[in-house]
Amino acid sequence: MKIPGSYIAAVAVGLIASSGLTAADDLVLSGWGLDAKNMETFLEQAADVGFDALITGSTDPEFLAQAVEAAAKHNISILAYISPMGHIQRAWREAYPDVPIPWQVMNDDEEAAFNFISAGDNSYIIPYQWGGEAIMTNEVLTNRAICFSSDAARDLFKPMIDNIASVPGVDALGFDGFGYQNYRRCYCEECQKRLADYMAAHPDMPEEEASVNYFRDALVGYINHLAGYARSKRANIKTSIHIWPVFMPEPLYGNRLDIDYCGQTAAWYTLWPEEKIAEYSRIIVQDANNYYPRQQGVGMIGYYDRPGEFPVKDAERVDMELRTMIENGCRRIQVCSSIHVVNSPEIAEVFRRYFK
């Protein structure tokens, strides 16, 4: 975070309104992705774009310590994320080589959709949203994710969090991919049983509402448990997330999380209308403290330079999205992928105008 001395002085004497701050002074940009192969060059370029923080998927303390040291030269913070997809798959196979991974279970229609979407180039032909707000009935994510009722799987995150928290320079534990593969729920035996218990405890609640509430709260409780665990390991560690895949019954549920930097999608990879970007930005910021005082609402913008696969966002489009988010109150912004932003000169220039 770039805090000029004049800003701190202004806060100290309560004169912030008359301090002559420009908008960029309090805008914070974090990016998903750290180019580990060209780390020095990448960090220099990222700093030149205005990145304040970068989020990496490595949980290796040695790598993280190196990244922290290299990034510090450019005033960039390093965050490290865990995910119930790739990370947990590797950890489970090591811990329980003979036991099947407790993936979330989908129903037959969703599995059929999974097979269709995964086949060939189908995901690039249909209006697939990649875990963003779905347009098609039965859109599902093509990544498997662990079931949140498996306590054995949940405990496998703890050594990863220990590793991350053990590197003092790592500012925050990140969360990515914490959601349901079918954007709603899991159908495994244990989840069915827990849902039945929940319904028995809430006999007046209609079935659909009970399912939404149960699976939303199970996901929220799971993330909050791991965030609390991280703070038990290092009291000053921050937490960060991007809410993905979407929870369709309540896309902006992120404010229920006891997380410091709660990234919720304000501008997806597919081209959302300006009014929707504005509305979501306002909600992300205004409702951030409905449940927890530590939370700061963060607007997430998707940017991939993968023409033919993802809709093309030109500089004008990216400028409209960033401007709309900022004008509607977002002071903290996350982008994925930071690598694509840094490597696209015209897009990097747009970000530079706001964040450098």
Any contact of residue 219 with Zn ion (CB under 5 A)? no
- Where does this chain touch Zn ion (CB under 5 A) — which range of 147-155, 234-242, 267-275, 303-311? 147-155
Measured over the CA atoms of residue 250, residue 142, residue 121 and residue 311, the dihedral's sign is: positive
Q: How many residues does the chain have?
A: 356
Please name the amino acid found at residue 93. Answer: R
Among residues 225 and 353, whose Cβ is nearest to Zn ion?
Answer: 225
Among residues 23 and 99, whose Cβ is nearest to Zn ion?
Answer: 99
Q: How far is the CB of 76 from Zn ion (least distance, A)?
A: 38
Q: Which two tokens mark 139? A: 């859109």
Among residues 106 and 147, whose Cβ is nearest to Zn ion?
Answer: 147
Any contact of residue 147 with Zn ion (CB under 5 A)? yes
Any contact of residue 145 with Zn ion (CB under 5 A)? no
Any contact of residue 255 with Zn ion (CB under 5 A)? no
Q: How far is the CB of 240 from Zn ion (least distance, A)?
A: 26
Which listed residue (34, 91, 173, 188) binds Zn ion by CB under 5 A? 188
Among residues 147 and 237, whose Cβ is nearest to Zn ion?
Answer: 147
Q: How far is the CB of 185 from Zn ion (least distance, A)?
A: 8
Neighbour-count burial for 104-139, b at 16+ CB within 10 Å, e otherwise: bbbeeebeebbeebeeeeebeeeebbbbbbbeeebb
Burial of 279 (0-12, 13-18, 19+ CB in 10 A): middle
d(CA 89, CA 100): 10
Q: How far is the CB of 141 from Zn ion (least distance, A)?
A: 15
CB 307 within 8 A of CB 341: no
Any contact of residue 186 with Zn ion (CB under 5 A)? yes
Any contact of residue 191 with Zn ion (CB under 5 A)? yes
DSSP 76-118: -EEEEEE-TTHHHHHHHHHH-TTS---B----HHHHHHHHHHH
Q: How far is the CB of 192 from Zn ion (least distance, A)?
A: 8
DSSP 210-267: HHHHHHHHHHHHHHHHHHHHHHHH-TT-EEEEE--S--TT-TTGGGGS--SEEEEEEE
In DSSP terms, 54 is beta-bridged to 31, 78
At 49, which helix (H) or strand (E)?
Answer: helix 39-49
Q: How far is the CB of 251 from Zn ion (least distance, A)?
A: 21
- Where does this chain touch Zn ion (CB under 5 A) — which range of 118-126, 139-147, 207-215, 269-277? 139-147
Phi, psi (rounded to 5 degrees) for 223: -65, -45
In the stretch 19-38, what mask flags binding to Zn ion with x, by CB under 5 A?
--------------------
CB 181 within 8 A of CB 246: no
Taking the CB of residue 213, how many other CB atoms lie within 10 A of it? 16
Any contact of residue 149 with Zn ion (CB under 5 A)? yes
Among residues 147 and 262, whose Cβ is nearest to Zn ion?
Answer: 147
Among residues 43 and 191, whose Cβ is nearest to Zn ion?
Answer: 191
Any contact of residue 300 with Zn ion (CB under 5 A)? no
Q: How far is the CB of 301 from Zn ion (least distance, A)?
A: 32
Size of the site for Zn ion (CB under 5 A): 5
Q: How far is the CB of 190 from Zn ion (least distance, A)?
A: 6
Site residues (CB under 5 A) for Zn ion? Answer: 147, 149, 186, 188, 191
